Amino acid sequence: MKQQESHSTAVEDQFVPAGWRRLALGDVGKIVSGITLGRKAGDGKRLRSVPYLRVANVKDGYLDLSEVFRIDATVDEIEKLSLKPGDLLLTEGGDPDKLGRGTFWQGELPECIHQNHIFRVRFNPEEFVPEFLSAQFASPYGKAYFLAHSKRTTGIATINQKVLAGFPLLVPPFTVQQRIARVVREQMAAVERARAAAGARLEAAKALPGAYLRNLLHRPTHQPWPSRRLGDLLRETRNGLYKPEQFYGAGTPVVKMFNIGRFDGAWYLERLDRVRVSPEEMASYSLEVEDLVVNRVNSRELVGKCAVIGQDLVGCVFESKNMRIRIDPASAVPGYIALWLNGIKGREQIQRRLRQIVGMATINRSDIETLQVDLPPLPDQEQIVNIHGGRVVAANRARKAVEGELAAIEALPGAILGGAFSGEL
């Protein structure tokens, strides 16, 4: 194919390392669109079932072949669209940050074709290294080109074959392509190992509060604590405010079921909706320090999850999918009751009392009141709450540190690919 310098690109000011060329993709690669679903194959033509790649199969830098569909195609279509090792595969659209998403075919299946929303680009294997080209499309250099030339509608960005053909390919000598591909592969593998290790540490950090709670409440070595009916420890149980027409607009902050998190009842307060309430409703449904708010209607996993009201939530109200529990301070420490409800024994009892309503699970006030709570003396309850609180603070610090590490790791591929196509490698 004739190789011609490309000059009309959105990134033509990009620095070109010494000894490299900038070539239009369409001048050095054969671009083919894939098979169209629902097309008419033609009367009398013999069809054969063959695997084909969908957009869902083509990811950024790899193929997901966990589910490969089949399609009936003619012999001519199969011959024209069959993939060969080294073919580049690029999707035509999606989220703007995923434009030009793709990878290269390595012969993963004995026979396979591709859908029309995937472009196949075939190069001379003696002049181009597929792994090098695939990395270039995924690099900040490649993403910038696709983003500048895409067509966007309702949050979806697309590129056409003409745009792809105009891609200003940076082409170093073949041996340099091989070296860069090898270095990128090794560095990306190191990133994946670091990501997996950090991910495992993050999961461990997330599990720490639950492990601490089990250790405090269910140690096999401590003397058995007496069991008390939860209803005997309460001053009040009340279901929340039910006025859906008022769950919009300015007004009083309202605690909803999704504000109580999955991990031991930690508050999830990135967003509190607001409602308008009357003085009478405010008097009935406002929250005070050490009130317990319990999920009354939610998924099976979250019904019964409980959190303690702190100073920052005083004056909020609560919706009907939650219930408010007020503990008699002479009988129990509210923070301890919250920990117990979120612990193993509390969760087991709650699960046995659940009812199903329209795809959701629910528990009522009388069921909550029948729960049997293991109740140590008040000083021990206070100590358990304090120990657990300190440990959770430390666990959250560890989690945030690992999340910061993961964020830094996620930025590494872009930096590696950016360096690869600026002459740094």
**Model confidence pLDDT, tens digit, residues 37-54:** 888 766 667 899 999 999
Burial class (CB in 10 A: 0-12, 13-18, 19+), 242: exposed
Residue 383 in any domain: the answer is no
Q: Which domain holds residue 70?
A: 21-172
**Model confidence pLDDT, tens digit, residues 194-214:** 999 999 999 998 888 888 888
Q: Which of 380, 375, 363 is nearest to 305 (CA)?
A: 363
The number of CA neighbours under 13 Å toward the Cβ of 221 is 2
| Residues 164 and 231 placed together within one structural domain of the fold | no
Query: Which of 138-152, 262-276, 372-386 has the highest average model confidence (pLDDT)?
Result: 372-386
Residue 378 banded pLDDT, cuts 50, 70, 90: very high
Report, as an integer, the average pLDDT of 415-424. Answer: 84
325 φ/ψ angles, rounded to the nearest 5 degrees: -120, 130
Burial class (CB in 10 A: 0-12, 13-18, 19+), 379: exposed
Q: Report CA Rg, the chain.
A: 30
Cα 302 from chain centroid (whole Å):
20
How many angstroms separate the CA atoms of 190 and 188, rounded? 5
If one compares 422 and 162, the residue with the highest pLDDT of the two is 162
Written as one letter, the residue type at 412 is: L
Q: Would you tell me how many other CB atoms lie within 10 Å of the CB of residue 228? A: 15
Residue 85 in any domain: the answer is yes
**Domain C-terminal end among 154, 172, 190:** 172
Q: What would the two tokens of residue 209 be?
A: 């509060």
Residue 74 in any domain: the answer is yes
Residue 16 in any domain: the answer is no
Which is it for the CA torsion 416, 417, 418, 420, positive or negative? positive
Residue recorded with tokens 């891609």: 167
- pLDDT above 70 as % of the chain: 89
| Residues 162 and 281 placed together within one structural domain of the fold | no
The whole-number pLDDT of residue 44 equals 66
Report, as an integer, the average pLDDT of 7-14. Answer: 49
**Domain C-terminal end among 151, 172, 193:** 172
Residue 232 banded pLDDT, cuts 50, 70, 90: very high
| Residues 154 and 250 placed together within one structural domain of the fold | no
The whole-number pLDDT of residue 388 equals 87
If one compares 404 and 248, the residue with the highest pLDDT of the two is 404
The whole-number pLDDT of residue 153 equals 74
| Residues 138 and 232 placed together within one structural domain of the fold | no
**Model confidence pLDDT, tens digit, residues 147-172:** 888 887 776 788 889 999 999 999 99
Residue 10 banded pLDDT, cuts 50, 70, 90: very low
| Residues 240 and 144 placed together within one structural domain of the fold | no
> Who's near 81: CB < 8 A, 6+ residues apart?
32, 34, 35, 73, 113, 114, 120
| Residues 278 and 371 placed together within one structural domain of the fold | yes
Residues listed for the chain? 425
Q: What is the pTM of this model?
A: 0.70
The number of CA neighbours under 13 Å toward the Cβ of 12 is 9
Q: Which of 131, 167, 132, 183 is nearest to 23 (CA)?
A: 167
DSSP state of 254: E
Report, as an integer, the average pLDDT of 89-94. Answer: 86
Q: What is the DSSP string of 132-196?
A: HHHHHHHSHHHHHHHHHH-EEETTEEE--HHHHHT-EEEE--HHHHHHHHHHHHHHHHHHHHHHH
**Domain C-terminal end among 172, 199, 217:** 172
| Residues 230 and 293 placed together within one structural domain of the fold | yes
Q: What would the two tokens of residue 357 be?
A: 């309503």
| Residues 89 and 155 placed together within one structural domain of the fold | yes
Query: What's the domain count of the chain?
Result: 2
The whole-number pLDDT of residue 252 equals 86
Residue 36 in any domain: the answer is yes
- Per the rule left: phi > 0, alpha: psi between -120 and 50, beta: everything else, 160 is beta
356 φ/ψ angles, rounded to the nearest 5 degrees: -100, 135
How many angstroms separate the CA atoms of 98 and 95, rounded? 5
Residue 88 in any domain: the answer is yes
Residue 112 in any domain: the answer is yes
3-state secondary structure 1-38: CCCCECCCCCCCCCCCCCCCEEEEHHHHCEEEECECCC
| Residues 257 and 156 placed together within one structural domain of the fold | no
> Who's near 183: CB < 8 A, 6+ residues apart?
420, 425
Q: Is the pLDDT of residue 133 over 60?
A: yes
**Model confidence pLDDT, tens digit, residues 57-69:** 998 889 999 999 9
| Residues 148 and 282 placed together within one structural domain of the fold | no
The whole-number pLDDT of residue 43 equals 63
The whole-number pLDDT of residue 356 equals 85
List the beta bridge partners of residue 48.
73
Written as one letter, the residue type at 392 is: V
Largest CA distance in the chain: 89
Strands 317-318 and 297-298: unpaired
CATH for 117 = 3.90.220.20
> Who's near 423: CB < 8 A, 6+ residues apart?
15, 17, 18, 20
| Residues 352 and 250 placed together within one structural domain of the fold | yes
The whole-number pLDDT of residue 298 equals 85
Residue 135 in any domain: the answer is yes
Q: Is the pLDDT of residue 299 over 60?
A: yes
Helix (H) or strand (E) holding 416: helix 378-420
Q: What is the mean pLDDT of the chain?
A: 86
